[in-house]
Structure 1
Amino acid sequence: MSSTTVRTVPPAADVVIIGGGVMGVRTAFHLAEAGVANIVVVERRDLGSGSSGKPIGGVRAQFSDPLNIELGSRSLRAYRDFPRRPGADIRLDTVGYLFLLTSDRQAADFEAGVAVQNGLGVPSRMIGPGEAQRLCPYLGTDGLVAAAHSPADGHARPALVVRGYARAAARAGVTFATHTAVTGIDTTGDRVTAVHTDRGRIACATAICAAGAWSAEIGAMAGVGLPVRPVRRQLAFTAPLTPPAPRIPFTIDFSSTAYFHNSDDGLLFGLADPDQPDGFDTTWTPEWLELFRAAVRHRAPALADMETAGGWAGLYEVTPDHNALIGRSRELGNFLYATGFSGHGFLQAPAVGEVMRDLHLEREPCVDIAPLSADRFRTGTGTRPEAHVV
């Protein structure tokens, strides 16, 4: 892989992509595949070391908003095709997604979502507590009203995805400037003219922000408002299980946000702490596990007492309405952005990479991303908030 870790970066590029996570490398891959030359990806650490560094990432099309459904569905197809294009094993496991619902209101909302999903080709369906328990034997059915299940969803390994895209992009001539921090952005009139880094200045014709939780800072350098805030999310792994865990769906208790699924020789646990303050702290705190245990003690009681063997903390890049920011700056015509995915960046990255390619080439994107413009917070227009947020 072409990787610049010396004292300088290339003096000029057609496209500078800021951020070397799954969104940045996927965008680079699509641009290079389309024949765009002289692309530089700038990453302040190693590729995939930010939010994309999590060990397992869910992939799904179970959303309430048609645009998010389309992005998820298109990305799922790309992940299934990954061994052929770009060519790598990403350990995709189509175990399905299972949302557990504990109120009639939740059931009604998800039933409406399933109808929209089915209309867009997603094979999701509503099921009863008994069938949910058969799919996931850890569940207790007391208080469980219904569940929503899609067998086409699952999970894959983000690190392998980043590596696969990056290798293919490097073969096509993309330069990856790792361990390189962006320090400023030059603009003249309504155009970005250069990206400054701690290893030198890169004059450019287009700049693309794919900086995840750090996007607000990058946007501010260019005078573009990107309302993204960093929020820590934590997860944990069980010790190896004997006998091995059954193969279960990616299971989510919608009320509490507690989720769990298979992970190598055990299970992975996760939950969003509602009291987590904003910030870039990624320290894993074992005390967080008590929140998870309290949430699952009634819903999946066996999990509450399982021995754990460490954990991990990363950052969500959250927007005010929990929908992504994808588009072209109104102020700077050659500043594009793909960020603020609020936990859904990995699962939407393949489709968004195509969108960013088309925006750069001034072609009609595969989906209408106008509702995801960052301007929606200024104008009051845009997509309705995603209901299936975890």
Structure 2
Amino acid sequence: MSLSSTFRTVPPAADVVIIGGGVMGTSIAFHLAEAGVTDIVVVERGELCGGSSGKPIGGVRAQFSDPLNIELGSRSLRAFQDFPHRPGADIRLDSVGYLFLLTTDRQAADFETCVEVQNGLDVPSRVITPGEALRLCPYISTEGLVAAVYSPTDGHARPALVVQGYADAAARAGVTFATHTSVTGIDTAGDRVTTVHTDHGPVSCSTVICAAGAWSGRIGAMAGIDLPVRPVRRQLAFTEPLTPPAPRIPFTIDFASSAYFHNSDDGLLFGLADPGQPDGFDTTWTPEWLELFRNVARHRAPALADMATTGGWAGLYEITPDHNALIGRSAELPDFLYATGFSGHGFLQAPAVGEILRDLHLDRTPFVDISPLSADRFRTGAEIRPEAHVV
């Protein structure tokens, strides 16, 4: 099956309807089908990988500040490493490491604490000197750097290849993919989900899993479930091919500004979160955005500031109030499950989350307690300490 394959025929009934055909939806479909769940339909409003998962290159890491996110990242890293065997696809994983550049003593102290937690969970991150950071990434300037943090097992892969790999394996196991199909409503009876309505007909079902990314708030509302997710545009750019070729460098992030860069085919990829970006579903790439990155680069990586670019990409982050995911089962509708709101971390956590949603559906105990990620936490005042907003 290719990512452009279209299955417009929506079956009249299914056991499980997964809403969203990105990396999260396809991972969930794969893990359910692998566990023997039959009669699964994935409903996608456009093409597979057409939303946030369409990012050209996605970072994969286990460097987080809290044990839960660390465990989600670590387990997913192992799955990405094993992807050629299960489900069986080359995802162009490049374990170049993640390099965080730190410019204040407070940042250094906070990251040192995080490294201790990460090391306790077998993540090989370490605090390094500015000089060591320069040897790893010769583009940077060490002026103003206090320290850096590096973990060699992190890196990046190709989201489209991951979605393709999961979707191919799921399709072989009998999963139906209804692309170019929009969800128009969800019927319930008491505390049960009964029907998902689409623009190609209704599907009666006993379980709905929302993996609709930035559109999840709308899907939740159809079932009377509050999923506090807002869409925010994020942009990146590609350099022209570089001669001589760029050295192989880590996924490098200036923590204070969120500016990042890494290898991309025969050049580099630049990115930065615009702090002034308003909420919305606009995914128009605007070249003038690039000046924000260049302003940071002039100080932190001067050679990058004047590199010519060939274009860029814009996609949507699905942001929650505390920048942590929503994963769980609805208390009001026990057969409505959700995995959304990853705030930029969805791709790198998708393999682990696919396992978790499989286990929730099958009433198994997941490998990690995800109750802190319940969408109800915002109603009960149990928000999680916000994860630093970086890619």
Q: Structure 1: which 4+ aligned runs deviate by more than 4 Å? A: none
Deviations 1:180-235 (A, max 9, x none): 00000001101110100000000001000000000000000000000000000000
Q: How big is the shift at 1:388?
A: 5.8
RMSD: 1.0
Residue 148 of structure 2 aligns to a residue whose secondary structure is strand
Aligned to 2:37: 36
Aligned to 1:387: 388
Residue 347 of structure 1 aligns to a residue whose secondary structure is helix
Aligned to 1:272: 273
**Aligned mates of 1:191, 1:292 — CA distance in 2:** 48
Aligned to 2:82: 81
**Aligned mates of 1:317, 1:4 — CA distance in 2:** 25
For residues 1-390 of structure 1, what are the structure 2 equivalents within 5 Å?
A: 1=1, 5-6=7-8, 8-387=9-388, 389-390=390-391
Q: How big is the shift at 1:389?
A: 3.6
TM-score when normalising by structure 2: 0.98
Q: How big is the shift at 1:4?
A: 5.3
The amino acid of 1:295's aligned partner reads V
Q: Which runs of 5+ in 2 are unaligned?
A: none
**Matched-pair contact (CA < 8 Å) for 1:64–1:388:** no
Residue 379 of structure 2 aligns to a residue whose secondary structure is helix
The amino acid of 2:232's aligned partner reads V
Q: How big is the shift at 1:382?
A: 4.5
- Count how many residue pairs are aligned between Structure 1 and Structure 2: 389
Residue 78 of structure 2 aligns to a residue whose secondary structure is helix
**Matched-pair contact (CA < 8 Å) for 2:322–2:384:** no
**Matched-pair contact (CA < 8 Å) for 1:326–1:374:** yes
The amino acid of 1:46's aligned partner reads E
Q: How big is the shift at 1:268?
A: 0.0
**Aligned mates of 2:103, 2:190 — CA distance in 1:** 54
Q: How big is the shift at 1:387?
A: 3.3
**Aligned mates of 1:153, 1:211 — CA distance in 2:** 26
**Aligned mates of 2:192, 2:333 — CA distance in 1:** 5
Deviations 1:238-294 (A, max 9, x none): 000000000000000000000000000000000000000000000000000100000
**Aligned mates of 1:176, 1:23 — CA distance in 2:** 14
Q: How big is the shift at 1:384?
A: 2.3
**Aligned mates of 1:330, 1:75 — CA distance in 2:** 27
Q: How big is the shift at 1:385?
A: 1.9
**Aligned mates of 2:337, 2:277 — CA distance in 1:** 30
**Matched-pair contact (CA < 8 Å) for 1:96–1:151:** yes
**Aligned mates of 1:142, 1:52 — CA distance in 2:** 35
Residue 205 of structure 2 aligns to a residue whose secondary structure is strand
The amino acid of 2:366's aligned partner reads P
TM-score when normalising by structure 1: 0.99
**Matched-pair contact (CA < 8 Å) for 2:323–2:389:** no
Residue 13 of structure 1 aligns to a residue whose secondary structure is coil
The amino acid of 1:111's aligned partner reads E
Q: How big is the shift at 1:5?
A: 3.2
Residue 184 of structure 1 aligns to a residue whose secondary structure is strand
Deviations 1:82-141 (A, max 9, x none): 000000000000000000000000000000000000000000000010000000000100
Greater Cα offset, 375-384 or 236-245: 375-384
**Aligned mates of 2:112, 2:219 — CA distance in 1:** 40
Residue 224 of structure 1 aligns to a residue whose secondary structure is coil
**Matched-pair contact (CA < 8 Å) for 2:84–2:90:** yes
**Aligned mates of 1:252, 1:281 — CA distance in 2:** 25
Residue 12 of structure 1 aligns to a residue whose secondary structure is coil
Residue 38 of structure 2 aligns to a residue whose secondary structure is coil
**Aligned mates of 2:94, 2:21 — CA distance in 1:** 25
Q: How big is the shift at 1:148?
A: 0.5
**Aligned mates of 2:193, 2:275 — CA distance in 1:** 38
Q: How big is the shift at 1:386?
A: 1.6
Deviations 1:276-328 (A, max 9, x none): 00000000000001000001110000000000000000000000000000000
**Aligned mates of 2:372, 2:336 — CA distance in 1:** 18
**Aligned mates of 2:337, 2:21 — CA distance in 1:** 15
**Aligned mates of 1:255, 1:382 — CA distance in 2:** 24
